[in-house]
Chains A and B, each alone.
Chain A
């Protein structure tokens, strides 16, 4: 049974692509055959984060238009055996995405035996974002602990309720999961940032993970390697937890408490 997971947020720059890359990689590392599809036609980034930008020959729009088949367009990930990337087109715009075309691509991926299809949504609530969520079974709603991001996530949750196939056909609704990114326990402690509990209270969606703000994320992006690969980093472990919880495992929430440095630590520095 293939499950289509959309990674969406409404607002831009909150970490959708970072989350798509690490989440898809996490699923593949668990042994699931996974495809990650970039829906940000015209502003493609996923290939950079996945480090496969030099291997892009055909893209999603080529496949939709019948100019290439999926076998030609899918790029095998350099780290994981089970992971494939379907890049977006950089030279087209989002009108190139048709509902029939997207449905056919997802169906074909299903026939190829993919167990998870992760759809990396563009920002906004227009065509590209709607196409990315139309066929979703699950949604990872990526939100920063900040009011405008929360409101935009709320908006996209409303669109999931009204425009997804599941909603239109009156089936079981899309399963919603909240991912809070760029979380700084220190700033929450100092009262400068909304806590994850505040965010969850405002959005009323089950929390699947909190990703701490971390320089590792930026380094990983620049190196073209999903952050989940960076050993011993908080962000990598937090993403691994998200994958575990998504697969139904119990994992305690980490990286949300702030320990004030003690006097000795402040005097002598230290890690």
Chain B
């Protein structure tokens, strides 16, 4: 993944990271990260790369490379063991910002390595997910065997399969995959979302679905204008 940084002052960066993550460390699971400096507001003369690295690692990000590096910072960054990606990488469009990061390159290597188009592994969680916990299956499906409590949140870029009571929030297709689905054996969530189309249950879950097997799927909206509606349908298990 790519971290777009507008600030190279470690203290202020630490503050804004803390605000952004709501004090939640360990959110990212040691992911290789490209630090994008193209939107830097002002480039300082010197940068504490080691400090920046340890700051990001505290949030589970593994910095491996830089892009859009100002000329005078290139050498110190290389010395700090960060790969400096060339102009080609600096012009990556906004749409690609979430593309997988290139594998950790040698500091000398300038060419970005495209990640292989390989399906991400399915994440399987065997324990119950408790109130206040958040699980994110990046790039793939999420299978939950223990259920999701009220106040918990499960997110997947692919589909979500839940084999225990689903009572928290469930967001499938978090990167916009409209083919993602939500399948569960005991339906009763606070919120369901697929590719950003969401539904809450202020007046309770409909009786034909409550605590029963159900699946949620996006269907083309009537009228064929490319819109989608979120359908939640009972699921026949046997």
Contact = CB atoms under 8 A, between A and B. Distances in A.
A133 to B, nearest CB: 13
A161 interface: yes
B82 to A, nearest CB: 30
B150 A154 contact: yes
Interface in B118-149: 127-133, 146-147, 149
Contacts of B133: 158, 161-162
Interface of A is mostly: helix
Contacts of B132: 125, 154-155, 158-159
B130 to A, nearest CB: 3
A204 interface: yes
A148 to B, nearest CB: 11
Interface in A122-178: 125, 151-152, 154-155, 157-159, 161-162
Given A161-B127, A161-B130, A204-B128, A155 B151 contact: yes
A194 to B, nearest CB: 13
A159 B129 CA distance: 11
Contacts of A154: 130-132, 149-151
A204 B131 contact: no
Q: Report the contact-size class of chain B (Cβ under 8 Å from the partner).
A: 10 to 19
B131 A155 contact: yes
A158 B164 CA distance: 16
A151 B127 contact: no
Contacts of A159: 132
A204 B163 CA distance: 14
A271 to B, nearest CB: 41
Interface residues of A, number: 12
B127 to A, nearest CB: 7
Contacts of B147: 204
Contacts of A162: 133
Nearest to A156: B130
Given A161-B127, A161-B130, A151 B146 contact: no
Contact of A151 (B128, B129, B131, B164): B131
A128 B23 CA distance: 18
B185 to A, nearest CB: 14
A158 B131 contact: yes
A151 B167 CA distance: 11
Contacts of A161: 127, 130, 133
B14 to A, nearest CB: 20
B169 to A, nearest CB: 14
Interface string A212-249: 00000000000000000000000000000000000000
A204 B128 CA distance: 8
Contacts of B150: 151, 154
B215 to A, nearest CB: 23
Interface in B133-185: 133, 146-147, 149-152, 164
A258 to B, nearest CB: 26
Contacts of B128: 157, 204
A198 to B, nearest CB: 12
Interface string B76-118: 0000000000000000000000000000000000000000000
Contacts of A152: 131
Contacts of B146: 204
Interface string B170-214: 000000000000000000000000000000000000000000000
Contacts of A125: 132
Nearest to A157: B130
B7 to A, nearest CB: 29
A90 B130 CA distance: 32
> Most chain-A CB neighbours within 10 Å: which of B127, B128, B130, B152?
B130
A81 B158 CA distance: 60
A162 B27 CA distance: 13
Interface of A: 125, 151-152, 154-155, 157-159, 161-162, 202, 204
The 5 A-B residue pairs with the shortest CB-CB distance in the complex, in nearest-first order? A158-B130, A154-B131, A155-B131, A155-B132, A158-B133
12 contacts: A151-B131, A154-B131, A154-B132, A154-B149, A154-B150, A154-B151, A155-B132, A158-B131, A158-B149, A162-B133, A202-B149, A204-B164
Given A158-B152, A204-B147, A204-B164, 17 more contacts: A151-B131, A151-B149, A151-B151, A152-B131, A154-B130, A154-B131, A155-B132, A155-B151, A157-B130, A158-B129, A158-B130, A158-B149, A159-B132, A161-B133, A162-B133, A204-B128, A204-B146
